Structure 1
């Protein structure tokens, strides 16, 4: 009888142990499910604030030329993107203008815009829409960003070839690192890199791959949707990966505090 009792107790202990493990598994997966649901809700909320940026020319074919991604801030009539996305010159003779592309319901819209501020050092530009307003992003706190935290960015990695359907990627902050690294030889230096060597600043490095069309995309908190950085696919890599023969798929973002400074300069923040 004692043997049977011991066996019964052992069986009961195993059942309790399995039940505990199963409950623990459910708790873990419940947290993951909530995290995924939270990101899904955030994406739905921020998508109307993400736009395409390029130029528009009435008699050109195609009339709209996509150059990068942007996002809406301020009162809803300002768009942020990378400075390198905006052309240095426009074909005024053929009425070429900077333009913003966005989706409203099932319709794709085009509205012209003008550049009202630029910070070439941090590769940022602010455009003002010629008409209308769109839902703006809330600006987050870049100084609160920590390595290992999960963030997302939304934009148009492949341009508008398949229509204005924004694409979202997510990744952790793998490093908070200077914009430029030492070069192998002085022969690799050019005027732009010389300037950046004199005043490097910190940027966010992500373990997610961005594409040229992602330049200007917002990097945002997956829960709150607050933007903490601006994805940069070209400008930073020129400095950080100059010593690499085959540039990596690493993605960088300019911290949002540099945008806040630019907004303060034009008294719009």
Structure 2
């Protein structure tokens, strides 16, 4: 019995000793042998940094500071935008025809001098160098990627001289081609964002990425259809001028008045543009901008909250051709609108005949009144 007890104790001590040795061997010895990474660990490559979508207001605020108005001695004007840190501004060739030096007005109303360093006689693009803008962080560019049908965009510029104007829309067509005077427009975007004379040369910006995708260049005589040159189609040409400015500029045989460059506009032109801009702002639910286009008498009779309430049930507004005529010192604009509207019965479609009266207040055109009646 005692013999069995002694054997049991010895066996227990041996097991405890072996266990203790094994524990310290594994703890101290094994880690020293692990010189390579575990095969279970897979090294992953860092993902390419994607553009983080910005809020639209932030995109507009940051972009407006880099969009300029370009003026010529003859009174014509257009738009442009800073695209590199050398102080180079992209614009249309028809904005700066046969000019070597131009006035550049920044968003904060500084008047600078720019030199045309590159211009094409057949592709409607040009580059203006503004030394005082050198070192300024430029707009972000979509150098290779093109916008696609349905992409939401904003157009910035100085339509009819209204600097820092922003209009919104979508890419409503791609691959459009046509000619205006000596300029060939090939593979251009068609856009629904309203543009007008003076918008020429301004940037078309993707509202998701904040990148410039096009150069606003032309518009139809009727309606609000505009056209924008894809930046990726011309960026190589533009950068070649920035690297090696032209020693002598080619002469453009004729200006391109149909190309959306600004000249002194009639009151009828301004009235038509303002009505289009009014409805475009309502479609985007930018009631503040729409309200700002009203005359002082209308605003004094209608508080902003009441004005906004009157359009809250309008989901979309489509306009037919605007008929404009001058009546004394004022301008009448008549149009038919089709409204997608909320009601107790759900969403309905209604047509209205609308007559606007516009006039000057402190030398600025304003919408003085609106008469609206439902039509069958």
In structure 1, the partner of 2:229 is: 254
**Cα RMSD for the two superposed structures:** 2.8
In structure 2, the partner of 1:87 is: 97
Is the counterpart of residue 221 in structure 1 residue 206 in structure 2? Answer: yes
Q: For residues 197 and 242 of structure 2, what CA distance do their matches in structure 1 show?
A: 31
TM-score (norm 1): 0.63
Once the two structures are superposed, what CA deviation does each residue of 1:17-44 show, in whole Å capped at 9, x if it has no partner?
xxxxxxxxxxxxxxxxxx9x81111101
**Are the aligned partners of 2:153 and 2:168 in contact in 1 as well (CA < 8 Å)?**
yes
- Secondary structure in 1 matching 2:153: strand
**Are the aligned partners of 2:79 and 2:91 in contact in 1 as well (CA < 8 Å)?**
yes
Structure 1 residues 66 and 48 mapped into 2: Cα distance closer, same or farther (>3 Å)?
A: farther
Instruction: Pick the aligned partner of 2:167 from 157, 166, 169.
Output: 169
Point out the structure with the larger helix share.
1
List gaps (5 residues or longer) in structure 1: 1-34, 57-63, 91-96, 182-189, 238-245
In structure 2, the partner of 1:127 is: 128
Q: For residues 265 and 229 of structure 1, what CA distance do their matches in structure 2 show?
A: 18
In structure 2, the partner of 1:111 is: 112
In structure 1, the partner of 2:66 is: 49
- Secondary structure in 2 matching 1:41: helix
Tell which has more relative contact order, 1 or 2 (C-alpha 8 A, sep 6+).
Answer: 1
Structure 1 residues 65 and 250 mapped into 2: Cα distance closer, same or farther (>3 Å)?
A: same
Instruction: Pick the aligned partner of 2:155 from 153, 156, 179.
Output: 153
List gaps (5 residues or longer) in structure 2: 1-52, 245-376
How far is 1:208 from its partner?
2.2
* Larger Rg belongs to: 2
How far is 1:264 from its partner?
3.7
- Secondary structure in 2 matching 1:201: strand
Which runs of 4 or more aligned residues in structure 1 lie more than 4 Å from their structure 2 counterparts after TM superposition?
none
**Are the aligned partners of 2:90 and 2:128 in contact in 1 as well (CA < 8 Å)?**
yes
- Secondary structure in 2 matching 1:145: coil
Q: For residues 219 and 168 of structure 1, what CA distance do their matches in structure 2 show?
A: 10
Q: For residues 49 and 85 of structure 1, what CA distance do their matches in structure 2 show?
A: 18
**Are the aligned partners of 1:76 and 1:136 in contact in 2 as well (CA < 8 Å)?**
no
Once the two structures are superposed, what CA deviation does each residue of 1:99-158 show, in whole Å capped at 9, x if it has no partner?
110133xxx211111111112322000011143434311111454311011111111112
Q: For residues 204 and 158 of structure 2, what CA distance do their matches in structure 1 show?
A: 13
**Number of equivalences:** 191
How far is 1:191 from its partner?
7.1
